Amino acid sequence: MVKRIISAHSQSGFTLVEVMIAMAIFAVYVTAIVLTQTTNVNDSARMAEDLKLHNLAELKMNETLIADLKFTNATENDPESGAFEIEGFKNYKYLVEFKKLELPEFEAIMGKSEEDNAQQEVDVLKKTVYTKMKKNIEKIIWQVKVTVTNSLTGAKYELNSWVNDKNARIDTNFSI
Amino acid sequence: MMNSQKYRYSSGFTLLEVLIALSIISLIMLTVINFTQSTQDTAERVTAEDKELLQIETAMSRLEWDISHIYSPLYFSHKMDPTQMSEGEGVIYNDLIQKYSKNQRFNFISYDALPIPFFQNPEKSEFIFLTQSNRRKFQDIKQSHFAWIRYSLKTDENSETKDGNKMLVRNVLADDIFSDQKIEWDDLKDQVLMRKINKLKFEFWDKKNQKWRDNLDIIEDGKNKALGIRITMEYLGPDNIESIAVRIFRPLFPDFTPENMYKFLNAKPEPAAPPAGSGNQ
């Protein structure tokens, strides 16, 4: 018996190529399985995290839009930050930034006209009206950006919107 | 062993070799099956968890849609004011207001004579309001985009445990919305939006005090106009883990304080008409 096994062993095994092909096939199979499994779990976790971040950002944004905010010139350099105080979301931080809306100057939109005087007069009129509107719009509308960060993983979510200054008084005197 | 003439020199496998081969194959097969099985299990578990996770998103987006379309004439107009009316108008007003005093759904009239609905939250977990979010499903049906909607918590009959035995229910009344009769909510069909809920709380934005309140009565015009609604829900998430969801929803109507129209109406005629665009904002 022993003799026979030894003799069988010494006869012929698989060649190196055969073994390698078999191993390669097996490896491809195993990697495929492991990959699908991890992507399943990862995708699900990422979706859950994304939803959380999105919902928190939306919550903060709606809170900002509903509240009567006082806008001053300092508002722009004074971002509001803090952590959420909801159970289970305490490691999420928010940052609310405000920025003044800036409309381009009249020349930047229309270009400089070098035509006859009549045209230039019309342009002066247009420019006056535009500048007035620009000033009014810039007074009323502010840009707001909410950034929510998970302080444990560093995952971030950003949401942008407009907010209007409810206390702004616009200038309706359009006389030139 | 095999001693046929043709294969005289070739030998077959011994029993032992076959057995070893078999056991190796079976081992490999076992691991492979194991792998496949666990992959499938994870996929199923993840899908089930995602479904539960998405359940709350679906319920909340329903709420958001309804609340964003919340309707009241007070968003663009103001209440009728008898003190600023002429005598003839006052008579009509008295007639109207008597009708509205008995109305179970609309309790006042706006400046442009539109009925103003009143929102109710008889319980902290209940909110009744008029919305424009209704979409007609059949042609020529007597419905508009208006509907009365109630969100409330009900006990889930199918729940086996006491923990998380409530469900979020939506009722809609889209027919005959301007009737003055009380709405019989219990006769309406229940739409279950979510199960496994422990607690639900509606809060309303009090603009005057810049605070959230859970009682509409103490908010100025709170029963006729909602500016923001905060919803806090305690529920059992995937794997029955206790979770909290807090959302804030806004109506699509902007927060706008209308100009007092009587000021223009009662203004003595002057050579120059008052400019229409002199309002704020």
Q: Tell me the per-residue pLDDT of B109-145, one tens digit each, with 9 for 90 and over.
A: 998 889 999 999 999 999 999 999 998 888 888 888 9
Higher pLDDT, A75 or A25: A25
Percent of chain B with pLDDT over 70: 92
Task: Give the pair of three-digit tokens for residue A56.
Answer: 């928190």
Tell how far CA B114 is from the center of its chain: 26
Q: What is the pLDDT of residues A73-120, one digit of tens each?
A: 777 888 889 999 888 899 999 999 999 888 998 888 887 666 677 777
> Sign of the C-alpha dihedral, residues B247, B253, B256, B260?
negative
State how far the alpha carbon of B125 is from the alpha carbons of B64, B118, B190, in Å.
Answer: 16, 17, 16
B278 with A67: Cβ contact below 8 A: no
Task: Give the pair of three-digit tokens for residue B146.
Answer: 């208006």
- Chain B residues with CB under 8 Å of a chain A CB are 11, 14, 16-17, 32, 35-36, 38-39, 42-43, 46, 49-50, 53, 57, 205, 207, 210, 227-228, 243-250, 254-255, 275, 277-278, 280-281
CA pair distance B212, B205, nearest whole angstrom: 5
Quickly state the pLDDT bin for B249 (edges 50, 70, 90).
Answer: very high
Task: Give the pair of three-digit tokens for residue B25.
Answer: 């194959």
Q: What backbone torsions phi and psi does residue A85 show, to the nearest 5 degrees?
A: -105, 25
B128–chain A nearest CA distance, Å: 21
Burial class (CB in 10 A: 0-12, 13-18, 19+), B213: middle
pLDDT of residue A6: 52
Tell how far CA B63 is from the center of its chain: 1
**Averaged pLDDT of chain B:** 87
CA pair distance B193, B235, nearest whole angstrom: 13
Burial B240-257 (b: 16+ CB within 10 A, else e): eeebebbbbbbbebebee
pLDDT of residue B54: 87
For B255, the closest of A36, A51, A166 (CB atoms) is A166
Q: Which residues 106-125 of chain A have a CB within 8 Å of chain B? A: none
DSSP A67: S
- Tell me which amino acid residue B12 is: G
Q: What is the pLDDT of residues A26-64, one digit of tens each?
A: 899 888 878 887 887 888 888 889 999 999 999 999 999
Could you give the count of Cα atoms lying within 13 Å of A174 in the half-sphere of its Cβ? 12
pLDDT of residue B281: 42
> Sign of the C-alpha dihedral, residues B104, B109, B115, B121?
negative
SS (H, E, C) chain B: CCCCCCCCCCCCCCHHHHHHHHHHHHHHHHHHHHHHHHHHHHHHHHHHHHHHHHHHHHHHHHHHHHHHCECCHHHCCCECCHHHCCHHHHHHHHHHHHHHHHCCCEEEEECCCCEEECCECCCCCCEEEEECCCCCCCCCCCEEEEEEEEEEEEECCCCCCCCCCEEEEEEEEEECCCCCCCCCHHHCCCEEEEEEEEEEEEEEEECCCCEEECCHHHCCCCCCCCCCEEEEEEEECHHHCEEEEEEEECCCCCCCCCCCHHHHHCCCCCCCCCCCCCCCC
pLDDT of residue A4: 52
Chain A CA closest to residue B48: A44
CA pair distance B250, A51, nearest whole angstrom: 19
- Who's near A7: CB < 8 A, 6+ residues apart? none
State how far the alpha carbon of A143 is from the alpha carbons of A47, A79, B114, B155, B169, in Å.
Answer: 28, 12, 35, 44, 37
Contact, B228 vs B249, CB < 8 A? Answer: yes
A44 with B35: Cβ contact below 8 A: no
Pairing of strands A92-100, A141-150: antiparallel
Q: What is the pLDDT of residues A136-163, one digit of tens each?
A: 998 889 999 999 999 999 999 999 999 8
Considering only CA atoms, which of B133, B73, B97, B113 is closest in space to residue B256? B73
Q: What is the pLDDT of residues B70-106, one digit of tens each?
A: 999 999 999 988 888 888 888 888 888 888 888 999 9
B235–chain A nearest CA distance, Å: 12
Contact, B116 vs B109, CB < 8 A? Answer: yes
Query: If residue A167 lies in a helix (H) or strand (E), which one and from where to where?
Result: none
Burial B90-105 (b: 16+ CB within 10 A, else e): eeebeeeeeebeebeb
Task: Give the pair of three-digit tokens for residue B112.
Answer: 């442009």
B281 with A44: Cβ contact below 8 A: no
